[in-house]
Amino acid sequence: KAGVTQTPRYLIKTRGQQVTLSCSPISGHRSVSWYQQTPGQGLQFLFEYFSETQRNKGNFPGRFSGRQFSNSRSEMNVSTLELGDSALYLCASSLRRQGATGNSPLHFGNGTRLTVT
C-alpha cells in the first residue's frame, strides 16, 4: 500500500507570493491533517479535513487555507508569503478523524520544505 505522498518536496518562493502544496493520503484514509514544522516552534497543527470539510483548525492566520477533494486528496495554500513561513509542511492521513485516532494512528508524508526569500 502506498504511503502518504506530498508534492513538491522542495519549494523556493519570494515574499508576497502564494504557494499550493499537495497531499495524497493512503488509499482508504479519509482524514488529512496538516502541520508546520520549524526549529523554533516544533510541530504546529494547521488544520484537519475529513470528508471534504474542515473539522479542526489551529492558531494560524487566514493566509493559511486548505481544501479536500472527493478522493480525499488535500491541498494547502499560503497566500502573501512571509519569511517566517519558511518551514517543513507535513501532511498526515488516518482512517478516521483525529478524535478517534486512539486506534487510527496518523501516517505522515515526508513533507514539503518551503523556503521563502
Partner 1 sequence: GNSVTQMEGPVTLSEEAFLTINCTYTATGYPSLFWYVQYPGEGLQLLLKATKADDKGSNKGFEATYRKETTSFHLEKGSVQVSDSAVYFCASLYSDKLIFGTGTRLQVFP
Which residues are bridge partners to 68 per DSSP? 74
Please, which residue, 35 or 64, has the CB nearer to partner 1? 35
CB of 108 to partner 1, least distance (A): 3
- Coil, strand or helix at 19: strand
* Contact pick of 11, 30, 65, 108 for partner 1 (by CB under 8 A): 108
Please, which residue, 44 or 79, has the CB nearer to partner 1? 44
Strand order in the sheet with 5-7: 5-7, 19-24, 74-78, 64-68
For position 106 contacting partner 1 by CB under 8 A, the verdict is: yes
Residues that bind partner 1 (CB under 8 A): 4, 6, 33, 35, 41-43, 45, 48, 55-56, 58, 90, 92, 97-99, 101-103, 105-111
